[in-house]
Amino acid sequence: MKIFAIGAHPDDVEIGCGGLLSIDWLSKHILHLSNGETSKYADGETRKEEAEAAARVLNAQVQFFDIPGRQIDDDDSACLRLVALIREIRPDYLVSHWELDGHPDHQAAHQLVRKAFFLSGASVDVDAPPWRCRNLLYFHPFNSGYGFIPDFVLDITAVYPSKLKAIRCHRSQTSFIVPQVEAVSRYFGQNSGVARAEPFKAEMPLVIGSRGLLDLEGGGDG
């Protein structure tokens, strides 16, 4: 199964879905729309090097669109560029930002990815056959406010060390990232009866076959 995770800045996907990206039997692709040069703590080249190191930890292919920060947009050129990449990678699932987010780049990334998710399966002027992903999953880098109530949580207890290792590759950012990741994963884990969990929303209803019911686990104390 192939996962294609798309973030506005280097570190967004590692924070939001680094547990999912740590599952070793998945094929994983990461796209950072900008290189994070608007960071107060590091320049764009440093942040790209950090992102490449994180991708090696996750055993994921990584690419950058090099869109300048604050200029991410769902205009036709950016959207068709992303549609072409989706059709080239042909992922089962796209994963990206939830729409309600205080950071304007995160909001813009959500709009761009959601548009490309639909257009990749439609008739548009891209020189590659249409590809329809099964679903578009959403994360929130910090789940801070904005009513992010997950549609499901992923038990990441077993892969949490890998997620943390990938996040720590972002050396210029880790001082404030790691405590938040610790808190969020424990919060959603405790609410679900596991040690660590990663919360997600989904664009479309998740389909669970009858055999999949056997894998469902009850959460909390009932």
Select from 2-10, 16-24, 178-186, 187-195 the region that touches Zn ion (CB under 5 A): 2-10
Total residues contacting Zn ion by CB under 5 A comes to 3
Which among 214, 215, 77 is positioned nearest to 154, based on CA atoms?
215
**How far is CA 94 from each of CA 69, 85, 176, 204, 218, rounded to the nearest angstrom?**
22, 12, 27, 12, 26
Q: Which is nearer to Zn ion, 9 or 140 (CB)?
A: 9
Is residue 9 part of the contact set for Zn ion (CB under 5 A)? yes
Closest CA to 167 of 19, 65, 8, 36: 19
User: What's CA 38's distance to the chain center, in Å?
Assistant: 20
Decide if residue 28 touches Zn ion (CB under 5 A): no
Q: How far is the CB of 178 from Zn ion (least distance, A)?
A: 15
Of the candidate spans 11-19, 90-98, 115-123, 187-195, the one that interacts with Zn ion by CB under 5 A turns out to be 11-19
Closest CB to Zn ion among 3 and 8? 8
Among 5, 6, 8, 33, binds Zn ion (CB under 5 A): 8
CA atoms within 13 A on the CB side of 205: 3
12 makes contact with Zn ion (CB under 5 A): yes
Cα separation, 90 vs 130, whole angstroms: 9
Chain residues binding Zn ion by CB under 5 A are 8-9, 12
